[in-house]
A and B are shown apart, each in its own frame.
Chain A
Amino acid sequence: MKTKMLSDRGIALLFILPTILILVFIVVYPLIWSLFLSFTDYSVVGTEKPHFIGIKNFANILKDEYIWLHFQNTAKYVIMAIAIQFFLGLGIALLLNREFAGRGILLTLVLSPMMLSPIVVGLFWRYILDANWGVLNYFTSLIGLPKIAWLGEKEMAMYALVIVDTWMWTPFMILISLAGLSAVPKELYEAAEVDRASTWFKFRHITLPLIAPLLLVGLLFRTMDAFRMFDLAWGLTQGGPGTATSTISIALYRMAFQNFETGKACAFAYIILILIIGMSNIYIRFLNRLQKRGG
């Protein structure tokens, strides 16, 4: 018995250690490094060694009025995009959750936006959204609307970003929802059928409780990805016009790789990190509670 225990432990160690080591190497080690840098005035393009400047970087960031703007933009974008994608994804999945000819091809096509490179999506949508030669404005002009400068106006640019993000990432929610729906045992519906339950009742009391945990996992991953989204916005607006679509990722990139304030960027990164970990902690706890209740 004892030898078996040991071998199990050996296998556990053997199986987990590589993962942990590689994470420590690429994530933890750099994080410690950047924690150190966040207390210095280091610039990656400078010639000088880092000088210790205490919490000045953190203080400067928290004082900066622009920073809060970036957080606001990010929040606006994340909330809008995630909410739309969630409902749209679930809705489309409910529609597609039946057998019909050509479903496989159709599904592949509908899922294809999320297989494109985000930078390419951002760039190509600039063409689609252009005020003068973009095809979207052609369609809106057919119903008599004036030219809309989707990427040139402060309010519109944020909506444009949300539209493009929704186009690209709703497929993920469709996929997750479909996966959930296809796992609901058919017998449950049949039972409800016997009771002549309404469609809404079936959805509310059979489907939803069963797929909720999966949807929440999908939502968690989407939220985290939206929060750190960079490529798409960079291709589409670069944070413009002005600072209208400047999210924290873009602000961080500018700080680190355009202004080369490496120390300050590290400090900013830490502030973001703490916020995200806090947020997802709450999220995961909520998820766990829900699952315990459900299952």
Chain B
Amino acid sequence: MRKVLLLSMLLLIVLTGFAAREITICWASWPPADALLALSEEFTEKTGIKVNGLFVPWGQFMDKVSVEFAAKSPTIDILIADSQWLGWLVEGNHIMKLNDWIKELGINLNDFYPNLLQYYGEYPFGSGNYYGLPCETDAEILIYRKDLFEDPKEKAAFLKKYGYELRPPRNLFEMRDIAEFFTRPEQNLYGIATKFSKDYDVVTWDFGWALWNFGGDYWNPNTLQVKGIVNSAQSVAALEFYKSFVNFAPPGAATYSFDEVNTAMQTGLVAMAIQWAAFAPGFVDPEVSKTFDKVAFMALPPLIEGDPNTAYVPLGGQGIVVSNYSDAKEEVKEFLKWFYTPEIQEKWALYGGLTSFKPVVEDPKFVEMYPWNQALKDSIPRLKDAWNIPIYAKLLTVTQENLNAVIAGTLEPREALMKIAEEHEKILKEAGYK
């Protein structure tokens, strides 16, 4: 009798398990993902649909997703995908075109910034086919030590040495001067921490900031020309400039990825840091940072103050895309409907997500919310992205390795860019783009 009881209970559990409506969100394993999961509890309360998280380390995020999709696995319903993945996701037929849903759910595309909608969702560019919507709009921002910048003694010394006032940098060269000024190994202080590592995509995007603002680029997205662009005089100048930061960075900076840049700033090792806005909360948290009350945030400076063509900011973050293999499409639809409302988007921002939903961002409340929101808001219209074609990963590997070699001092900038150009041409040709 007890056996029967036990069995029927088990059956009940299994049955209810099957009956429960749930969706799984796949994202990199990092704090915004946990924040989204926490926010989703409200969605569960409202609809009864449970939200699960499948969060993967950054280094294996793409590997994992591609494996799941290659297996046509229904595990993933919603994927928060890097903007560059759009190509392979669409061409592999892994994700849904969302145009019909957008219409049906009444999502107003004017609520998004056009450059972001394009980078996170439109494929190919200009086609009007939307596969994704902005979710986490990340931008590289500058974190600096305001206590050092405002110290009268430092100000006087800086003025004497450089002939102008020490202030939050207004252009790239001021930034380099400041970095040089604060590089004092004997005091265990260095000028700048930025992501030089070959980890994932970090050095490619950090360098992108200098590259684009100097007038260079990784390629011409329209003609797919690489040679003569990534190794143009402007690009070489940009890399020479970017490389000079190595002298003002802490020893071992060639391996700096997300966490090392955080730690360098949090332990008071550097005066400035270039970091994704998603990591900003860690800089003002007294539990983890020694300098929590000494930092300020700003958008990255341009090459020439006031010239929008030299003021690009690397785009990071991810958009929401929907798996074709999902067996819970109705639930996903409800989730999107819930997520893209001003009310929830505002909460998303409060939970530590980076929203770019216009009604929220343009509300005066937004910049008051958190100290880094002004920097983020200033960056949004200036955001720029690189490749999004299916074979982007190969282009990325080559770029990462050669740029990191420049930082490590084993390759000259000109050589490295030449190598990148040649390899990229070869990859594009092999993939049938030329």
Contact = CB atoms under 8 A, between A and B. Distances in A.
Nearest to B64: A257
Nearest to A236: B255
A259 B255 contact: no
Contacts of A234: 59
Interface in A128-149: 130-133, 147-149
Nearest to B197: A240
Interface string B57-73: 00110110011011000
Contacts of A154: 408-410
Nearest to A66: B401
Given A130-B252, A154-B410, A241 B397 contact: no
B88 interface: yes
B393 A241 contact: no
Interface string B241-252: 000000000111
B428 to A, nearest CB: 14
Nearest to A234: B59
Interface stretch (A40-48, A101-109, A188-196, A266-274): A40-48
Interface string B379-407: 00000000000100110010001001101
B198 A47 contact: no
Interface string B183-200: 000001000000001110
Interface stretch (B14-22, B25-33, B259-267): B259-267
A258 B408 contact: no
Contacts, number: 97
A242 B408 contact: yes
B245 to A, nearest CB: 14
B253 interface: yes
A241 B408 contact: yes
A154 B264 CA distance: 22
A39 interface: no
B70 A259 contact: no
Interface in A226-242: 234, 237-242
Interface string B175-186: 000000000000
Interface in B269-299: 269
Contacts of A147: 251-252
Interface in B194-214: 197-199
Contact of A258 (B63, B93, B390): B63
A247 to B, nearest CB: 15
Contact of B250 (A45, A131, A254, A257): A131
Contacts of A223: none
Interface centre among A44, A132, A153, A239 (most CB of B within 10 A): A132
Contacts of B70: 44-45
A258 B395 CA distance: 11
Given A131-B251, A149-B254, A259 B393 contact: yes
A47 B407 CA distance: 37
Contacts of B260: 130
B61 to A, nearest CB: 11
Nearest to A119: B57
Interface string A71-115: 000000000000000000000000000000000000000000000
A153 B203 CA distance: 16
B362 interface: no
Nearest to B400: A240
B88 A241 contact: no
A258 B251 contact: no
B91 interface: yes
Contacts of B91: 47
A145 B199 CA distance: 28
Contacts of A132: 188, 250-252, 264, 267, 269
Given A240-B197, A258-B62, A258-B393, A47 B252 contact: no
A260 interface: yes
Interface centre among B66, B267, B411 (most CB of A within 10 A): B66
Nearest to A126: B255
B74 interface: no
Contacts of B254: 149, 152-153, 240-241
A151 interface: yes
B92 interface: yes
Contact of B252 (A44, A152, A257): A152
Contacts of A257: 60, 63, 66-67
Nearest to A60: B430
B401 A133 contact: no
B274 to A, nearest CB: 17
A148 B255 CA distance: 13
B22 to A, nearest CB: 27
Given A152-B251, A152-B408, A242-B411, 20 more contacts: A45-B66, A45-B69, A130-B260, A131-B250, A132-B267, A133-B267, A149-B255, A152-B255, A153-B252, A237-B255, A240-B197, A240-B199, A240-B255, A241-B197, A241-B405, A242-B408, A258-B62, A258-B63, A258-B393, A259-B397
Interface of B: 59-60, 62-63, 66-67, 69-70, 88, 91-93, 188, 197-199, 250-255, 260, 263-264, 267, 269, 390, 393-394, 397, 401, 404-405, 407-411
7 contacts: A44-B70, A45-B390, A131-B252, A154-B408, A238-B59, A240-B404, A259-B393
Rank and list the top 6 A-B pairs by shortest CB-CB distance, nearest first. Answer: A131-B252, A149-B252, A152-B252, A242-B405, A152-B254, A257-B63
